[in-house]
A and B are shown apart, each in its own frame.
Chain A
Amino acid sequence: MAKIAYYPGCSGQSTSLEYDLSTRAVCRALGIELVDIEDWSCCGSTPAHTVNHVLSAALSARNLALVEQQGMDTVTTPCPSCLSNLRTAAHKMEDASFRDQANALLDTPCTTKIETLSVLQVIAEQVDAETIRAKVVRPLTGLKVACYYGCIMNRPPALMQFDNHENPMAMDKLMGLLGAEVVPYPLKVECCGASFGVPRVDIVTRLAGKLLDAGRDLDADAFVTACPLCQMNLDMRQGQINTALKENFRIPIFYYTQLLGYALGIDDKELKFNKLCVNPRPVFKKLSELKEAAQAG
């Protein structure tokens, strides 16, 4: 399998360290060779594009230029926000005058169009289903999961060009391959509150609470996410949600790479389940009980 440049994103260094580590472990297991971008910097995230589009593009383009300098033309990132920024920058810079404006802010300009793909897309499109199925050593049989994609993994569709933008299926299919029972989660692309957790926590508790509620309706054992911000809002803020909404949610929120890694038999140390705030132990307990029951039966 071809090498691909890898952009972990800032949160991968702290709040979503487990996402970064499990992504690397899973890619290694599936034969995807990730090449770190040397000395990468922040893509600018949402704050940059809310201030100015040229500034935002330049912050992203510094990284695209690094990919170019490392002699590669495609970069992958686990984070949908980074994905969105890097893709938007590359797309806008196809316009010559915009490109000049953005490059004028950089020490080293970005001259070619670098393609950015999510790690999810790379796995979904470059690893065939049978390869994954054959590598499963700890199937998720009997586990009911709700796959939540977040608002910008697939939107706007004209820019993202991946999966169905109202009902994406990439993670559903992946979890299905691992043996999990995937519930038809209806709010796959509904926003969780994004980065308003800091300035307006009331917004996040309301929106993320609605998401948890829809998962509970379907009797899901756990959520599977692909976005550091979504995961944090649903997991780390679950207590805040419970307080604000007078609820009692206790739903573990995994990164899809963690469960994929688990099924592939990757060591728990690389998957860092201990980083999850809502205790995931009931999930593994259920899995082992189901396994025992199946063996006994």
Chain B
Amino acid sequence: MNIIDLTAADCDFQAEVASRSGQDLKTCYQCGNCTAGCPYTFAYDVPVSQIMRLIQAGQRETVLNSKSLWLCASCQSCTTRCPNSIDVAKVMDVCRHMARENGCVSERTSKLFTDAFLQSVEKHGRAFELGLMATYTMKSGRFFDNIALGPPALLHNKLSLKPHSIQGKEQVARIFERFRKGE
């Protein structure tokens, strides 16, 4: 087990998460209510209350490399029930941003799906589900995960076969361009 040297806490990390999320992280007193309500705890490697604690302890590497960041669905149950009114989901979001910026990706498929989705939006202006599934499947190599969905989806005509491109798709593409330039 990793032994934490408390004097080596990364205070900049703490401060960056606090300022980017706009949350007062010192008010977290580790009651565990976020973990208690989180539907994803079973899939996490680090429960959300411990993410909060590790941020307080300035443990940048552990936090940014945790799978949990990529498995949070932003369902808001933590934020809604926090007795100290901390927007925990936003803290998770901010940590995920920082993980991405630092190239820490511990749940590859989760990131690939996000990327495929945004690529689709950038290309067409709207999300084109069949297209983004194709992109995701090619990049992830996960050909069989959702093969069972094929028959019902086709049978009930669930997926549109061609993208709904919009006139202003260039405008949307420029949003992404400017964003990347500014980064």
Contacts and interface: CB of A to CB of B under 8 A. Distances in A.
B158 A39 contact: no
Contacts of B75: 151-152, 155, 191, 194
B167 interface: yes
Interface in B68-114: 71, 73-77, 79-80, 87, 89, 93, 96-97, 100, 107, 109-110, 112-114
B149 A236 contact: yes
A155 B77 contact: yes
Contacts of A55: 175-176, 179
Nearest to B136: A198
Interface stretch (B6-14, B24-32, B36-44, B53-61): B36-44
A239 B168 contact: no
| Interface hub of B76, B77, B107 (most chain A Cβ within 10 A) | B76
A47 B114 contact: yes
B159 interface: yes
Nearest to A191: B75
Given A13-B126, A14-B129, A151-B77, A42 B113 contact: no
A156 B76 contact: yes
Contact of B109 (A39, A58, A193, A200): A200
Contact of A40 (B73, B130, B156, B166): B166
B2 interface: no
Contact of B160 (A13, A54, A105, A199): A13
A170 interface: no
A41 B172 contact: yes
Nearest to B121: A42
A15 B40 contact: no
Contact of B42 (A206, A243, A274): A206
A53 interface: yes
A198 B109 CA distance: 8
Interface string B152-177: 11011111100010111101101110
A17 B157 CA distance: 10
Question: Main SS of chain B's interface residues?
Answer: helix
B126 A197 contact: no
A156 B77 CA distance: 8
Contacts of A108: 171
Contact of A51 (B100, B133, B152): B100
A279 to B, nearest CB: 10
Given A42-B125, A106-B175, A13 B159 contact: no
A44 B121 contact: yes
A48 interface: yes
A121 interface: no
B79 A156 contact: yes
Contacts of B178: 104-105
Nearest to B181: A105
A191 B118 contact: no
A280 to B, nearest CB: 11
A239 B149 CA distance: 8
A50 interface: yes
A46 B136 CA distance: 16
Nearest to A244: B148
B76 to A, nearest CB: 4
A39 B148 CA distance: 34
B114 A53 contact: no
B182 interface: yes
Contacts of B167: 39
A-B pairs with the 9 shortest C-beta distances? Answer: A14-B160, A199-B109, A191-B75, A151-B75, A155-B76, A194-B73, A10-B127, A47-B114, A47-B117
